[in-house]
Homo-oligomer: A and B are copies of this chain.
Amino acid sequence: MTSPAHSTFLRRIEFSDTDAAGVAHFTRLLAFVEEAEHAFFRSRGVEPFDGVSGWPRVAMETRFLAPCKFGDTLEISLAEWTVEGSRLQFSFSAEIAGRDSKVECFRGVMRVCHVRIDAGGAFQPMEVPEEIRSALLGQGD
């Protein structure tokens, strides 16, 4: 079942996020998705990374729809959260904030995995604990 949880995150395009084509580099846009994810985690009282557990990426799909430039602010929306075993999935979309008409920059789906990081640094997938599942997705989702 998909959670009704929905969050938005604002992120300005900084100079070090841009490239010589004059726009935000696509890899920085994907880093912003992770920033939005972490902001959502914190808003639900869940620590995104504590050194002994974390959420490495498992898969992603992205469509890049329009470029964004230095100084633009992106409004990144996360939604459609689902949990299955150790996997957490959500959809993301980003539009340029403050425009009269909507300009969608990119959208996609991210799948991450809950892992324990062992003493040697290896990642061991672990089922998403119930308290994290309910914090992120809501009771009864």
Contacts and interface: CB of A to CB of B under 8 A. Distances in A.
Interface of A: 14-16, 18-23, 25-28, 30-31, 34-35, 38, 47-49, 51, 54, 56-64, 67, 69-71, 117, 121, 123
Nearest to A28: B27
| Copies of this chain present | 4
Contacts of A22: 20, 51, 117, 121
Identify whether the interface residues of A are mostly helix, strand, loop, or mixed: mixed
Given A20-B20, A30-B27, A51 B14 contact: no
A34 B31 CA distance: 16
Given A62-B60, A64-B59, A70 B20 contact: yes
